Amino acid sequence: MLAYTIHQQKPYFKDIVLIHGLGGNSSIFKYQLDSFKQHFNVITIELPGHGTSPNTDSYQEPFTIQIAAQEVLKTLDHLKIKEAHFVGVSLGTIVIHQLLTDAPKRVKSVVMAGALTRFNPLSRSLLTLGNAVKSFTPHLWIYKLFAHIMMPKKNHKRSRDIFIREATKMKRSDFLGWYNIVAKVESIYKGSLKIPNTIEKLYVSGSEDHLFLKPLLEDLKKDLYAKKFVINHCGHVCNIEKHREFNDVSIDFLQKQGKVEAIPKSS
């Protein structure tokens, strides 16, 4: 089971589970908590290898995305939550895609910020470089390099600094455990599309998310239940950089679930 925090629990509110990105922790949702708590029960979960959750090498078998997803489900079982809405950021969206494959009945709807569905040539080259040097290079050096390439602009600095600061708390073995999973992002996303469901999904990305936005927009054309929203002048971690806009569009989407039959595909 994973470490979690219940930020609010009211019997008449919907349950929403927030899942952070690589190297981060639930603190990256600090700009969401106050807004979300006005409408929902909010639960933040620390992924394996983050915070006080189990390390990625603490399992009896090699760490996989399936193990990560099952740990999330075990945590929901412990909390007696049969189904919930999910909000994920970056790496958290990969975990949610696996949940859509493994346990779609547990997922009411999804909001994904800075989602990863596959890599462009630059991001694929970065992964290859990382694989070549990860055995002898400090993992924080790799993380910082990727963070600066992924979020290069001045307006990305706050998001970049937060992620780098939190990543300093991460063990090398945990970073490498997740690094090996990130390389499989495309197959994980494709796997989620093979499971028949009518789960509504909102993908929110920044217009300056130069590594992941173009492939994402192309991939969403194949998903009839996916809606996209692109925030102008914003980078990868849009829930921090443009948190007010992210909160507004996310809350509006989540409140509509169960009240409308379909979500129009628009930006």
- Tokens, residue 56: 């990625």
Please report the domains of the chain, with CATH numbers, ordered by start residue.
4-256 (3.40.50.1820)
pTM listed for this prediction = 0.93
Spell out the per-residue pLDDT of the chain, length 267, in tens.
Answer: 999 999 988 888 999 999 999 988 888 999 999 999 999 999 999 999 999 999 999 999 999 999 999 999 999 999 999 999 999 999 999 999 999 999 999 999 999 999 999 999 999 999 999 999 998 999 999 999 999 999 999 999 999 998 898 888 899 999 999 999 999 999 999 999 999 889 999 999 999 999 999 999 999 999 999 999 999 999 999 999 999 999 999 999 999 986 533 334 444
Q: Are 149 and 158 in contact (CB under 8 A)?
A: no
Q: Residues with Cβ < 8 Å from 122, sequence gap 6 or more?
A: 149, 210, 211
Q: 261 — phi, psi (to 5°)?
A: -85, -30
Residue with the two structure tokens 């692109």: 230
